[in-house]
Amino acid sequence: MRRIVLYLLIALILTVPVTAQDDPETPDTAQAPDYQIIVMASPSLVGSNFTVEFGIINIAGSAETEATVILTVATTGQQLGIQTVPPIPSQGTETVTFEFPASGFSPGSSQSLQATVGIDEIERRGSETVGNNSVRVGFNVPQNVPTAEPDADGVGESAGGTRFTIPGLNVDVDLNNPTHLLILIAVVVIVLILLWVAVTILRLFFQKTPTIGQWQPPYASLSMVDPDSAAGRRQLWQPHAQNDALMLPCGEGAYHIRKLLMGADGAMLSGWRLTSLRLSQYDMYGRVARTHTPASTGLVKRLDKAAHRRELDMERAQKAVRPVARSLVAQFDKRLSKKNAGLPVALDLRLRGTHGEARILFELFGCRHGEWQLIDSWEPEMIVVQGTIGENFTYTLFGQHQGEQYKDYRRRLEDELTRTLAEMILRQRASAPAAPVGPAAPVQTPRVEEFVHQDTAPHPPSGY
């Protein structure tokens, strides 16, 4: 009896696992889906695009959600396409086809693509079944693959807009790759620096340094004339005319001569062009060479333009020439020191006139009763070379005064230079005093023979 009961218990224990395995309440549909992606057709070139086809198989339970299929370049991670597939039932299949431009790849290169499906959607990343959710496929890019049209920068751009090939170098650059981006920025910076250095060197080789050359008066002494005659005294006075200004105040019995530049129409500076401009200090031996400060071509042109503007008053004239004075004094300031700041400053201007359009007028003044009176005026006999006439104006400006602060001296120098240039622009010729109306005897302007005596006739300095 005991043996029969033992046999029954063993038979019961052996039959329980078999019954559990065949339990009809555990259907196949309760299993989780497991997607697998395979290559149906390797990448092939059709026209200017590559085409590749993948198959997706669900080898486990039915899916209830859509899945995303992503195609990327395996080496760079650049995305080439993305598609979605509907839920796939158990043992069901789907196919997807991607098309991407061949211009994004270097001709003759070997490439590798990676396709993934349903990761973190159908199967969790890192799970045991997710390994078959990606697949790789390689292909070779033909040598004659079509390239992208060059953009405004001259480089071909991929469909994504972040990858391009540098023409001539056959180098691929991906702007999404930090290393590529840093290298590209470094190359651009180096190229810009090299261009700047090259331009600077070329400017040093070909840029002309502003200079103010030698000047020979076109009215230099001609033939020997009697110094006691009017023509002789005029010729002796001419070299003493430094500019077009009148000295103020005048000393009783003093004489002063100036020269005016005008055109055939009688307008001041008409027919004349300013060609150069310079500031420099001078001492008893002449100009101090180390202080020579020539104005740039731009400043000279700006002053020349202001000199030919009409209907200017003093305020507008100073406003027009102040930028020139400020820039020139700023350059001149670099050549000054505390030791030489007290030396007087010479402002030299060179002008060029066209023969037949330009005129030179000398005016001789005498000081009577504290005022300058016009004694004589004349146009000189000139020797014209190559159809042009050269002239020179020299103005003198005070150096630093005793006890004057340097910053005050520099400001005063700029103001005096501005006023001097503005007055040159507005200069007008003198006119003989008109005879009074009435019975009184008219006041006649003295003739040069009466006013300028032989003992006061000037003698040109040697080496002028």
Complete DSSP assignment for 306-348: HHT--S--HHHHHHHHHHHHHHHHHHHHTT--TTTTTS-EEEE
Domains and CATH numbers, the chain: 29-148 (2.60.40.10), 230-433+442-456 (no CATH)
Whole-number pLDDT of residue 211: 65
Residue 440 confidence (pLDDT): 35
Calpha distance 433→428 (Å, rounded): 15
Give every CB contact of residue 209 below 8 A, 6+ residues apart in sequence: 294
pLDDT of the residue at 450: 45
CA dihedral 343, 346, 347, 353 (to 10 degrees): -170
Residue 392 has φ and ψ, to the nearest 5°, of: -140, 135
Q: Distances in Å between the alpha carbon of 352 and those of 221, 261, 385?
A: 20, 10, 12
In this structure, are residues 134 and 116 in contact, taking their beta carbons and an 8 Å threshold? yes
pLDDT tens-place values along the chain, 464 residues long: 555 444 444 444 444 444 334 444 444 446 889 999 999 999 999 888 999 999 999 999 999 999 999 999 998 889 999 999 999 999 999 999 999 998 888 888 899 999 999 999 999 988 888 989 999 999 999 887 665 444 444 444 444 556 677 776 667 777 777 887 888 899 899 999 999 999 888 877 776 656 676 777 887 666 677 778 888 888 889 989 999 998 888 888 899 999 999 888 888 888 899 999 999 999 888 889 899 999 998 999 999 999 998 888 899 999 999 999 999 999 999 998 888 899 999 999 999 988 888 899 999 999 998 899 999 999 988 877 677 888 999 999 999 999 999 999 999 999 999 999 999 988 887 765 433 333 333 333 444 444 444 344 454 443 33
For 222, phi then psi, to 5°, come to -95, -115
38: nearest Cα among 94, 85, 109, 107: 94
Nearest to 113 by CA among 134, 84, 86, 85: 134
C-alpha distance from residue 109 to each of 9, 48, 114, 116 (Å): 73, 16, 17, 23
pTM of the model: 0.52
Question: Beta strand pairing status for 110-117 and 67-73?
Answer: antiparallel
CB atoms near residue 65 (< 10 Å): 10
Q: What pLDDT was estimated at residue 6? A: 43
Q: Which two tokens stand for residue 394?
A: 């020299």
pLDDT of residue 10: 46
